[in-house]
Amino acid sequence: MINATMERRGFLKGIAAIGAAAGAATLAGCASPSPTANAAKGGSATTAAAASAGHSWEVAPEPIDDSSVSETIDADVVVVGAGMAGAAAFMHAAEAGASTVIIEKRDSISGRGLDFAAIDTKVQKEAGIAIDKGQLVNDLVKSSGYKADGSLLKLWADHSGPIFDRLIDMTVADGGEVVLGSGSSASAGAEDFATRTYPTDHMFGGLVEGPCALIERMMKAGEDAGGRSYFKMKAEQLLKDGDRITAVYATDPDGNTVKINAAKGVVLATGDYGSNQEMVEAWCPLAAGAEGSVYPDSTANTGDGINMAMWAGAAIQPGAHAAMIHPIFGGGALSAASYLKVNSDGVRFCNENTTLPGISNMYLTSKGHKVWAIFDSNFEEQMPKMSPLSNYNNNTAGPLTAMFSSGAADPANPPSHSEVVEYCLEDGSTVKGDTIAELAAAIDVPTDALEATVARYNELVEAGVDEDFGKDAADLQPIVQGPFYASALTAKVLVIASGLNVDSQMQVLSRDGDPIEGLYAVGNVMGNFFANDYPICAPGLSHGRCLTLGALLGKAIATGNRLGE
């Protein structure tokens, strides 16, 4: 069935279902995949001596010689990576009549997360939801500082509806359901584009199946159309014949070298580079300061596709890379709500009513990664009065996910704010004091500074106007009734959503800015869709662009048409 609404309790239950998987190993892996244990052959590993000469992507290995090839596979389209974007490209290329092969280095498909963004789907129409595409695309371009490619964003906005409708039909036919998420409730209708949120988020499979069921359906559709899938098949190098990429060399489960010819094109869908510390430090150093990853799997998202492409002459996106970093799976009680925030000097430094990336950046850019949320004992009464964005952030970040995954709270009966506070007092992420001076001592900030900060903040509360930083009046809550509380802020990486430089057709560009014939990128290995930060105004956009652009790209390469034709 199609379910057009989802209450907060159901949303938290969905997070808990995914969080439970995280407690075991990774947050939302489809299985417990392991990479092939076979060493790369044919000179695919850079020697220590060569590596000392530059970064891994700057030092190309010796080309693989055809004499080492044990098997050759012919195809029109070769997709590297069986995740969300790769499966979409595989399905649509095969259904468009192309001989299609998809390879994956692990032993299963790969998917994680909750939300999927689209515009004008049948679920949205049934719910009476209409979205201004032009305004949303403009907001997304603005949020990137005009570093993202608006033509790629427009492709998603224009084509996600019908592509999602097909996936919705597949899910319903398979006994599943599709619901609209609650992300759109954060600040719908806000005048400020930085905090305006659109009702784009969908959840496939009734929250419990998660993204992997959807990937499995796409893989099956591709295979039913004649596509061939190979797992534990690790791509090693691209073959460049003149100015065109014509094949992929890979290592099979037995350690043999396989050559896969691609008459029409190779699609890189190898995921992000978040597990490659060298790349993180070079292109997204802010992410290196986060408190770990929500998806701690060192075998995935290692930048393989970027290395292969750059060895073949490709370039990385020019705009500042966008990491999805959220204050999730940790931190103190109410730390993601819009309460007064102070740094290690005990000083307020911003408007606290901001999106999850903004909250994370508070943590990442503050001295010693020390930021505290300060509130008084009336928090239970105050929270319902605070802005929708503040409540959304509090319900989807902070310690709640950790509480659910550890069994400390029941997602079917979410804990009260007081219960969360008690939990965090026990684990030390929240502290309290009968006076502001005691609180200052507990968090090791200067007493006079914190007392002055709180006094000034209460003046603003009394006036009803934040003359210092312009915060929403609803989030100006007094700090007058002891005991007083301080909750530590934290931030963890979900994904780095930037990669190779591509044009409006998702064709990978050379260092001279020219298209590399036969080479395409989609999903997190593709750049230019996001820049600076992952925008929160269209919940689920990372997944939404993977599904939409993967589908468009697979069909375009198969048919020889431009994207969307």
User: What does the pLDDT look like over 73-94, one tens digit per residue?
Assistant: 999 999 999 999 999 999 999 9
CA 102 to chain CA centroid, Å, is 23
Quote the pLDDT of residue 47. Answer: 40
Quote the pLDDT of residue 564. Answer: 87
Quote the pLDDT of residue 183. Answer: 63
Q: Look up residue 293 and give its two tokens.
A: 């990853």
Helix axes 133-143, 150-173, angle to 10 degrees: 120
* 111 in Cβ contact with 498 (< 8 Å): no
The answer to whether residue 245 scores a pLDDT higher than 90 is yes
Quote the pLDDT of residue 319. Answer: 87
Quote the pLDDT of residue 187. Answer: 55
Quote the pLDDT of residue 38. Answer: 32
Report the 10 Å Cβ neighbour count for 191. Answer: 7
Quote the pLDDT of residue 8. Answer: 35
Residue type, 281: E
Quote the pLDDT of residue 211. Answer: 81
Q: CA 501 to CA 478: how far, in whole Å?
A: 48
* pLDDT, tens digit, 9 for 90 and up, residues 514-553: 999 999 999 999 999 999 999 988 999 999 999 999 999 9
The answer to whether residue 193 scores a pLDDT higher than 80 is no
Task: Calculate mean pLDDT across residues 425-429.
Answer: 96
- Taking Cα atoms as reference points, which of 391, 486, 390 lies closest to residue 436? 486
3-state secondary structure of 227: coil
CA atoms within 13 A on the CB side of 170: 18
Q: 3.90.700.10, 3.30.1330.10, 3.30.70.80, 3.40.470.10: which CATH number matches 328-490?
A: 3.90.700.10
* pLDDT, tens digit, 9 for 90 and up, residues 95-144: 999 999 999 999 999 888 888 999 999 999 999 999 999 999 999 999 99
Quote the pLDDT of residue 6. Answer: 37
The answer to whether residue 469 scores a pLDDT higher than 50 is yes
Q: CA 530 to CA 317: how far, in whole Å?
A: 10
For the chain, the average pLDDT equals: 89
Q: Which residues pair with 372 in a beta bridge?
A: 342, 488
Q: Which residues pair with 432 in a beta bridge?
A: 485
Task: Calculate mean pLDDT across residues 383-405.
Answer: 90
Q: CA 14 to CA 414: how far, in whole Å?
A: 12
- Taking Cα atoms as reference points, which of 125, 122, 87 lies closest to residue 103? 87
* pLDDT, tens digit, 9 for 90 and up, residues 20-78: 333 333 333 453 333 333 333 333 344 444 445 689 999 999 999 999 999 999 999 99
CA distances from 402 to 361, 410, 416, 445, 540 (A): 21, 11, 15, 27, 21
For residue 388, the surrounding DSSP H or E stretch is: helix 388-396
Quote the pLDDT of residue 347. Answer: 98
Quote the pLDDT of residue 41. Answer: 31
* pLDDT, tens digit, 9 for 90 and up, residues 428-443: 999 999 999 999 999 9
Quote the pLDDT of residue 169. Answer: 96
Quote the pLDDT of residue 260. Answer: 98
The answer to whether residue 510 scores a pLDDT higher than 50 is yes
Q: Look up residue 495 and give its two tokens.
A: 């994904």
- Taking Cα atoms as reference points, which of 76, 31, 82, 33 lies closest to residue 550? 82
Non-local (6+) Cβ contacts of 209 within 8 A are 176
Quote the pLDDT of residue 298. Answer: 84
* Residue 270 binned pLDDT confidence (cut-offs 50, 70, 90): very high
* Residue 340 binned pLDDT confidence (cut-offs 50, 70, 90): very high
Q: CA 67 to CA 259: how far, in whole Å?
A: 11
Residue type, 378: N
* 325 in Cβ contact with 290 (< 8 Å): yes
Quote the pLDDT of residue 134. Answer: 96
Tokens 């740094």 map to which residue? 343
Q: Look up residue 211 and give its two tokens.
A: 């993204």
The answer to whether residue 19 scores a pLDDT higher than 60 is no
Q: CA 100 to CA 262: how far, in whole Å?
A: 9
Convert 211-220 to b/e letters by CB count within 10 Å (16 or more is b).
bbbbbbbbbb
The answer to whether residue 14 scores a pLDDT higher than 90 is no
* Residue 374 binned pLDDT confidence (cut-offs 50, 70, 90): very high
For residue 361, the surrounding DSSP H or E stretch is: helix 356-365
Sign, Cα dihedral of 399, 403, 409, 414: positive
Q: At residue 366, what are phi and psi to the nearest 5 degrees?
A: -85, 145
Q: Which region among 108-117, 207-216, 280-289 has the lowest average model confidence (pLDDT)?
A: 207-216
The answer to whether residue 191 scores a pLDDT higher than 70 is no
Q: Which region among 171-175, 383-387, 406-410, 496-500 has the lowest average model confidence (pLDDT)?
A: 406-410
Quote the pLDDT of residue 181. Answer: 83
Domain ranges across the chain: 2-12+114-209, 328-490
* pLDDT, tens digit, 9 for 90 and up, residues 343-373: 999 999 999 999 899 999 999 999 999 999 9
